[in-house]
Amino acid sequence: MARKTIFIDFSKCIECLACEVACEREHNGKSHIKVFEWQEMAAMALNCRHCETAPCVEVCPTNALYRDEDGAVILAPQKCIGCLMCGIVCPFGIPELDLINKIMGKCDLCAHRRKEGKLPACAETCPTDALVFGEWNEIIRERRRKFTEKTIELSKKAEGISLQGV
Amino acid sequence: MEERLVPVVCPYCGVGCRLHVRSVDGYPLGIEYAGDIPGISNEKGKLCPKGNAVVEYLLAKDRLTKPLKAKEEGKFVEISWDEAIKEIAERLKAYTKDDPDQIMFFGCARTFNEPNYLIQKLARMLGTNNVDHCARLCHSSTVSGLRAVFGAGAMTNTYRDIEEANVIFIIGHNYAETHPVGFRYVIKAKERGAKVIVADPRFTRTAWHADIFLQHYPGSDIALLNGLIHVIIKEKLYDERFVRERCTGFDEVVKAVEKYTPEFVEKVTGVPKELIIEAARTFATAGKGVITWAMGLTQHTHGHDNVRLAATLSAICGYQGREGCGVSPMRGQNNVQGACDMAALPNYFPGYGLVTDPEKRAFFEEFWGVPLSGEPGLTAVEAAYAIDRGKVKAYYVMGENPVISEANANHVMHALQKLEFMVVQDIVPTPTMQFADIVLPAAAMLENEGSITNTERRVQWSFQAAKPPGEARPDWWIVSEIGKAVGFDKAGPKGFIYGSAEDILREINACTPQYRGITPERLKANLAGIHWPCPSEDHPGTRFLYRDRFLTPDGKAHLAAVEHRDPAELPDEEYPFLLTTIRYVGQYHTATMTMRSESLKKRWPEPLAEIHPEDAEKLGIKTGDWIVVETRRGKYPIRAKVTRLVKKGVIAVPWHWGANVLTNDALDPDSKIPETKVCACRARKVSEEEAKKVMEELPPVIPKLEVIKG
């Protein structure tokens, strides 16, 4: 089944951190998305990628990590023992230890908001649509369409280039 | 227990985003995005970080809950509302009897139209035009400059026009950081193939998204704009028909820009001449273009002329009176446009009739039933100097924080100390209250209802989402009580008897031509709001201005021919650097609200002074070192960030935490805006202890009010 997740278009990110603040509000003061400034004034948000073959789900000894109907990797807090295994295997370093509750914490694609038919807060708030929530293949197809349109537009403007035979 | 979703307008910047506040029994719990309301300024309910954190400042622990009276400077006792109103009314009456021009009123761009209308009505009915607000410090040159060229001082278009433009010229405006949700439309236009030209002395986040980036020296805007106009005229790229039919003064412009060849402009601005030519060609040949600007263009001693030139550039290209065109000065506060429309300004009546115009004055004398003064009043900065001269003795400050926001803050504090009587009305303790005699607790914008006008002239109704804490009261209630106590207790427009904000808006409808059809009923039914001018109740509002004619007396755009002038203060041997002020996306103006929002404070905890690596090396400064920036007016300790974002010889300091002790209060002769964006400074490395010592002499951004018993 096609899976919905958050697509990140870093060329549109203006590093306003609205996603972090929104996530923090929805998750009781803890933001699960982080914006990295990879070059001065240029940044990119990174949250859990909810991997297809998620190593965190595979190593979890208590089956606290599972996949919900939208394909999001969710942590069941009552089962978590805080062994950090998910954090060790995650290549992005996403799961964090919540020292107060002694369990792990990670992005759940705003399960409580999806239940009400709303988007995850980060994607909903992103002022420039650098974060888009949707079905992966559709987003990619849309991107391809835009790129093709732009290329055709450009070649129309360029003199002496014929579109025939392209 | 009843959970409600209340539609409100964001209390921060001028984009005027809609959102819902989720509240239970008047206690705000969180927010919900307003994606369900069509046609709002923040399409799909998008919000920036400040909008996401709006509930946090409402719940600040140090909200003001009772009226306070000063026993001595900075020490307060609690009093009742009756006592407070009575004392204020008596003092105001006493000053009025003597000379009403001894009182200075400050309106507020962060509260609704209604209290702003009332405060200027109170001032004018008392017989003085001394009423101003923070637009003086940000966009007064826009109001005066655009009025001179086009006849009205407002954004001519809407966000939709930015989205539909083919070229967007952003000058002196860090769009991505100051109006992130508005920047959405620039990104969307760019995706469609529009070109983005950014002119800024600093490489900003906005510049990162530019196709052409012009990095000019602070204060060289006139030369840059003249250079662009020069190329456009030389290469005959201007709209000949538009210039012939709808503009006057073109020949003077041709003469004035003659010497601004790309080579000359390169020398003055530091922008390579090839880029100037490319930018000019790109802008003039796009077919549909928008110019946006903010503080970088306005806060200069030649701000008025900067704005006139930007408008001239737009007009000669024919980018007026059409879709996808126009000029867009981006307002800083959610209601600064409204506060200007309501005439919390010393020289206008509501709806921009001049106080010197006998016809307009006669109308309001009849409407309010009292004789009015025809002398324009004092502006914000002039008032501080008038205190020195003993001309002004009392201040009534509604929701402003001049100690942090006004240029040359040391002088402002020195002046406020000399005041005989000062009332400050606000939601939280501010450093300005140090000098107050009476402090009035106001309800925050979200705890109150009323109409609010965003930067695109869109008037929206914001509903009450939460209960005010303690005895805090709505701004309109406070001003109307004072009005009644002063003696204006007649019914209708001749007095101050109001039952609700709606009553006041109906009175505004009656006396302000632009707002005539914007009734409370219509606003409540239409959450997306109405763009003024809206001359009648069945009028749908106006998306862009000047379709057929400009609002100048002859209906034509009066093009500006302006010579380059240097800023009032330039670097010399003693003060070798140029100082400019900047902002952070997560902090807002004097930081009274954002520094009380935990999630924002955590991410933007302190200011960093940006300094070029070569300058830093000479001074032995590394990133993270404490430095003291000094100007002729003050000292400011701050940590340094060594970066290539600023030009060599420029130091950029965020002003949210009080850097205005450094800035210059030299005024633009036309608009009286202080030159906050450029002055000469020097910097030296200091130890942390020394920096802390200097910091103690400065006013604290988040002060504690001392309340004593008895």
Query: DSSP string covering A115-160, please?
Result: HTTPPPHHHHH-TTSSEEEEEHHHHHHHHHHHHHHHHHHHHHHSTT
What would the pLDDT profile of B200-211 be if each residue is shown by its tens digit?
Answer: 999 999 999 999
Chain pair A-B, CB pairs under 8 angstroms: 90
Q: Are residues B142 and B130 in the same domain?
A: no
pLDDT tops 90 at residue B177: yes
The overall average pLDDT reported for chain A is 89
| Domain match, A57 and A101 both | yes
Q: Residue B8 belongs to a domain with what CATH number?
A: 2.20.25.90
Domain identity same for A32 and A73: no
Residues A42 and A55 in one domain: no
Domain contains B568: no
Model confidence pLDDT, tens digit, residues B486-513 = 999 998 999 999 999 999 999 999 999 9
Q: Give the domain range for residue A18.
A: 1-47+107-159
Query: Quick one: A85 and A43 in the same domain?
Result: no
Buried/exposed code over A132-148 (b: 16+ C-beta within 10 A; e: otherwise): bbbbeeebeeeeeeeee
A37 plus A61 within the same structural domain: no
What are the chain B neighbours of A122 within 8 Å (beta carbons)? Answer: none
> Residue B392: inside a domain, yes or no?
yes
Give the nearest partner residue to A41 out of B33, B180, B205, using CB atoms: B205
Asked if residue B287 has pLDDT above 80, the reply is yes
CATH value at residue B428: 3.40.50.740
User: Which pLDDT band holds residue A150 (cuts at 50, 70, 90)?
Assistant: confident
Residue A165 falls inside a structural domain = no
Coil/strand/helix, residue B22: strand
For an interface test with A, give the residue of B48, B52, B593, B646 to mutate (most A CBs within 10 A).
B52
* C-alpha closest to that of B583 among B689, B635, B507, B659: B659
Q: Helices B475-486 & B81-98, crossing angle to 10 degrees?
A: 50
Check CB contact under 8 Å for A18 and B33.
no
| pLDDT at A70 (0 to 100) | 86
CB B387 within 8 A of CB B373: no
Model pLDDT, residue B595: 95
- One domain for residues B130 and B146: no
Q: Residue B632 sits in a domain of what CATH number?
A: 2.40.40.20
Decide if B582 touches A, using CB distance below 8 A.
no
- What is the CATH classification number for the domain harbouring A31? 3.30.70.20
**Residue that terminates a domain, selected from A62, A83, A106:** A106
Tens-place pLDDT, residues B666-691: 999 999 999 999 999 999 999 999 99
Q: Is residue B79 part of a domain?
A: yes
What residue numbers bound the domain in which B10 lies?
3-58
User: What are the beta bridge partners of residue B30?
Assistant: B22
pLDDT at A109 over 70: yes
B159 touches chain A (CB under 8 A): no
- Span B410-433, mean pLDDT? 95
Q: Do B585 and A12 touch (CB under 8 A)?
A: no
In angstroms, what separates the C-alpha of A29 from chain B's closest C-alpha? 8
Determine the Cα–Cα distance for residues B515 and B577; give it in Å rounded to an integer.
47
pLDDT band at B649 (very low <50, low <70, confident <90, very high): very high
Q: Do B298 and B379 belong to one domain?
A: no
Q: What is the pLDDT of residues A63-84, one digit of tens each?
A: 999 999 888 999 999 999 999 9
B21 and B125 in a common domain: no
B46 to chain A: closest CA residue: A125
For the segment B622-634, the average pLDDT, to the nearest whole number, is 96
> How close is the nearest chain B Cα to the Cα of A124, in Å?
7
Candidates B43, B44, B47, partner chain A, best to mutate (most A CBs within 10 A): B47
Q: Specify whether B107 is located in the same domain as B170.
A: no
Among chain A residues, the shortest Cα distance to B51 is held by A18
* CB contact (8 A) between residue A14 and residue B204: no
Cβ–Cβ of A124/B204 closer than 8 Å?
no
CB-based contact A21 B203, cutoff 8 Å: no
pLDDT at B192: 87
Nearest-CA distance from B86 to chain A in Å? 43
Same-domain check for residues B229 and B358: no
Q: Do B329 and B256 share a structural domain? A: yes
Residue B204 touches partner A, C-beta closer than 8 Å: yes
Which ranges in B106-236 belong to alpha helices (H)?
113-126, 135-138, 140-149, 159-164, 175-178, 180-192, 205-208, 221-234
Model confidence, pTM: 0.94
Provide the percentage of residues in chain A whose pLDDT is more than 70: 93
Long-range contacts of B239-243 (CB under 8 A, 24+ apart): B239/B316, B239/B317, B239/B318, B241/B318, B242/B315, B242/B316, B242/B318, B242/B320, B243/B315, B243/B316, B243/B318
Let me know whether A58 and A102 are in one domain: yes
Q: Is residue B408, in this structure, part of any structural domain at all?
A: yes
Q: Which of A106, A123, A139 is the last residue of a domain?
A: A106
Mutation target to probe the A interface, by most A beta carbons within 10 A, among B186, B208, B601, B612 is: B208
Among B333, B348, B366, where does a domain finish? Answer: B333
Average pLDDT for residues A42-61, to the nearest whole number? 92
A98/A118 same-domain check: no
Angstroms from B246 CA to nearest CA on chain A: 32
Residues 6+ apart with CB under 8 A from B112: B335, B338, B445, B448, B449, B450, B451, B452, B462, B475, B476, B501
| Angle, helix B303-316 to helix B250-257, in steps of 10 degrees | 110
Check CB contact under 8 Å for A41 and B53: no
- The CA radius of gyration of chain B, in Å to the nearest whole number, is 24
B119 and B180 assigned to the same domain: no
Number of domains chain B is built from: 4
With contacts defined as CB-CB under 8 Å, which chain A residues touch B40?
Answer: none
Enumerate the residues of chain A whose CB falls inside 8 A of the CB of residue B46: 124-127
Pick the residue of A9, A17, A132 with the most B CBs within 10 A to test the interface with B by mutation.
A17
Give pLDDT, residue A146: 85
What pLDDT, on a 0 to 100 scale, did the predictor assign at position B436? 95
pLDDT 10s digits, B90-111: 999 999 999 999 999 999 999 9
Question: Is B407 at the interface with chain A, CB within 8 A?
Answer: no
Contact B51 A20 (CB under 8 A): no
Q: Of A31-40, B29-38, B436-445, which range is least confident?
A: A31-40
pLDDT of residue B273: 95
Q: Are residues A54 and A102 in the same domain?
A: yes
Same domain for A35 and A63, yes or no, is no
Question: Do A43 and A113 sit in the same domain of this protein?
Answer: yes
A119 and A100 assigned to the same domain: no
Alpha-carbon gap: B105 to the closest alpha carbon of chain A (Å) = 36
Tell me, yes or no, whether B554 lies in a domain. Answer: no
**Contact at CB, A18 and B48, closer than 8 angstroms:** yes
Q: What is the pLDDT of residues B291-344, one digit of tens each?
A: 999 999 999 999 999 999 999 999 999 999 999 999 999 999 999 999 999 999
CA B75, CA B62: separation in Å to the nearest integer?
A: 16
Please check whether residues A81 and A39 belong to one and the same domain. Answer: no
A22: Cβ–Cβ under 8 A, 6 or more apart, which residues?
A121, A122, A124, A125, B47, B49, B52
B193 touches chain A (CB under 8 A): yes
For the segment B391-411, the average pLDDT, to the nearest whole number, is 95
A166: confidence class by pLDDT, cuts 50, 70, 90: very low
Number of folded domains that form chain A: 2
* Minimal-distance CA residue of chain B relative to A146: B191
CB within 8 Å: A124 and B209:
no
Asked whether residue B85 falls in the same domain as residue B156, the answer is: no
Residue B438: the pLDDT is 96
| Interface check B69 vs A, CB under 8 A | no
Is A124 in contact with B187 (Cβ distance < 8 A)?
no
A166 located within any domain: no
What's residue B271's pLDDT?
Answer: 95
* Pairing, β B68-72 against β B438-441: antiparallel
Residues B526 and B650 in one domain: no
Mark whether B503 and B608 lie in a shared domain: no
Q: Encoding tokens for residue B57?
A: 């400042």
Q: Determine the average pLDDT of the residues in B175-204.
A: 94
Tell me, yes or no, whether B13 lies in a domain.
yes
Residues of A engaging B, defined by a Cβ cutoff of 8 Å: 12, 14-18, 20-22, 24-25, 29, 40-42, 118, 124-129, 146, 150, 153
User: Distance, in angstroms, between A125 CA and closest chain B CA?
Assistant: 5
User: Across the interface, which of B177, B191, B645 has its CB nearest the CB of A40?
Assistant: B645
Tell whether B203 lies on the interface with A, counting CB pairs under 8 A: yes
Are residues B347 and B319 located together in one domain of the fold? no
Q: How far, in whole angstroms, is CA A16 from its chain's centroid?
A: 17
Kindly state whether residue A20 falls inside one of the protein's structural domains.
Answer: yes
Query: Per the domain annotation, does B543 fall within a domain?
Result: no
Which residues of chain B are within 8 Å of residue A16 when distances are taken between CB atoms? 48-49, 176-177, 180, 585-586
CA distance A118 to chain B (A): 10
pLDDT higher than threshold 90 for residue B73: no
Report the residue of B19, B206, B599, B623 to disrupt the A interface, i.e. the one with the largest count of A CBs within 10 Å: B599
